[in-house]
Amino acid sequence: MKKFIPFIAVVLVIGLVAACFAGCVDPYVGPISEGLPQDILSGVDTAPSDEIKNSITVSIEDIVNDATLADNEKVRLIMDAIEENETKVLRYTYFKYTKGQTTLSEENDFMMIYQRIKKQDRDIKDDIILKFPINVGTSDVMFSLYAATAAGSKGIYADGKLWRLKVDMADLVYDGEDTGLLSVKEGAWEKGSDFGDKDETSLQTQNREESKKTALNFSCENIISTEGVSITHNEAGYYEITFKANLEVANADATTISRLEQDNSASGMSFNKLEVTVQVWDCGLIKEMDFVESWNGKIIGLTGTANAETHIEYSYTLEDCDHTETQAILNSLK
């Protein structure tokens, strides 16, 4: 049975318990950009080159054309294939953006912006994660919760080691007026606690466990509903697939719910929604993904609801996968 760790768990609740002990900083209160950023990577619409296609191992054409498979089973196998292909592909750059709203009571709610950009090839990996809460509620509970959730980390795997960098909330800039993107002030990156201390190569991090975190992890055998499944082909050379979770199965699976509660330091949890649209290149590499999700549960003694929407895009071009800036930052701190 496959396990499912919903992305909303990472987006909305990481660090909340620890944040109760963090010092207060002024929260962002201001405009919120509508929708989600799109087409951030210049090569998102560029089909993978022969060099890239020759580096992967699993084709999806046989899956799509197998008349003996139900559509939801095809989707399960396709999602498994793109996960495996990510562990083999020569290089890729990945952008993920989530906007999530957590409501624990009338006064206890806030929105979290989560942004991740990962560039990876066989020699270097640059993985940036930024988290930024906005328009935090007025209660003391929320002020104690939000402070440590806003931060940034940058893991550079190079020269056989992990070089961890960090920034604090004051170093993050949110463009609520226009793009909605998060950025880091120039020169703000500083050494983290494990800067150059861990022996690990970029290639070692390109594994199934890591590839699960970049898209969706499946929780139980029948997690994909038989209803609402669509698989269509675009003449630009990719399949567009839509599906949703079978909530009855997901919520009845003790392992799935236990992991959801553990990831969120919560109890009494259940899914309300998980609906996905994914574009997959004919060769079996992911192009883009969008999904919306929601759950109920009890956090820090308060029962509430979390809702999130996510956009993901990939590029396999040399331009998007360039590490010049990464190497310059690393060299300046060594």
Q: Which of 175-184, 218-227, 257-266 has the highest mean pLDDT?
A: 175-184
**pLDDT: is 100 or 18 the higher one?**
100
Which residues are within 8 A (CB) of 190 and not within 5 positions of it... i.e. 6 or more apart?
A: 165, 166, 167, 333
**pLDDT: is 4 or 190 the higher one?**
190
Mean pLDDT of all residues in 152-179: 92
Mean pLDDT of all residues in 146-161: 81
Mean pLDDT of all residues in 281-296: 94
Q: What secondary structure letter does DSSP report for 227?
A: S
Percent over 70 (pLDDT), the chain? 82
How many Cα atoms within 13 Å fall on the side-chain side of residue 39?
Answer: 3
Which helix (H) or strand (E) covers residue 230, if one does?
A: strand 230-234
Predicted confidence at residue 9, as pLDDT, reads 41
Give me 136's structure tokens: 């935090």
The answer to whether the beta carbons of residues 219 and 240 sit under 8 Å apart is: no
Predicted confidence at residue 156, as pLDDT, reads 94
Predicted confidence at residue 57, as pLDDT, reads 93
Mean pLDDT of all residues in 119-127: 95
Mean pLDDT of all residues in 194-221: 76
Mean pLDDT of all residues in 56-75: 95
The answer to whether the beta carbons of residues 134 and 176 sit under 8 Å apart is: yes
pLDDT in tens, 251-278: 888 877 877 777 666 789 898 998 999 9
Predicted confidence at residue 144, as pLDDT, reads 57
Tokens 């009845």 belong to 252
The answer to whether the beta carbons of residues 93 and 315 sit under 8 Å apart is: yes
pLDDT in tens, 29-46: 789 999 999 999 999 999
Given a cut of 50, is residue 106 above it in pLDDT? yes
pLDDT in tens, 59-68: 999 999 999 9
Give me 3's structure tokens: 């396990």
Predicted confidence at residue 23, as pLDDT, reads 42
Given a cut of 80, is residue 24 above it in pLDDT? no
Exposure of 106 by Cβ count < 10 A (0-12 exposed, 13-18 middle, 19+ buried)? exposed
d(CA 26, CA 6): 30
d(CA 178, CA 35): 10
Predicted confidence at residue 101, as pLDDT, reads 87
- Phi/psi for 98 (5° steps) reads -125, 135
The answer to whether the beta carbons of residues 224 and 76 sit under 8 Å apart is: yes
Given a cut of 80, is residue 246 above it in pLDDT? yes
Exposure of 332 by Cβ count < 10 A (0-12 exposed, 13-18 middle, 19+ buried)? exposed
Predicted confidence at residue 223, as pLDDT, reads 80
**pLDDT: is 61 or 220 the higher one?**
61
Q: How many Cβ atoms sit within 10 Å of the Cβ of residue 222?
A: 17
Domain assignments of the chain as residue spans, ordered by start? 7-333
C-alpha distances (whole Å) from 326 to each of 125, 152, 165, 169, 200 are 9, 15, 11, 21, 17
pLDDT in tens, 292-315: 989 898 876 778 888 989 999 999
Instruction: Estimate to the nearest angstrom the gap between the alpha carbon of 12 and the chain centroid.
Output: 12
d(CA 184, CA 279): 30
Mean pLDDT of all residues in 138-157: 69
Mean pLDDT of the chain: 84
Given a cut of 50, is residue 17 above it in pLDDT? no
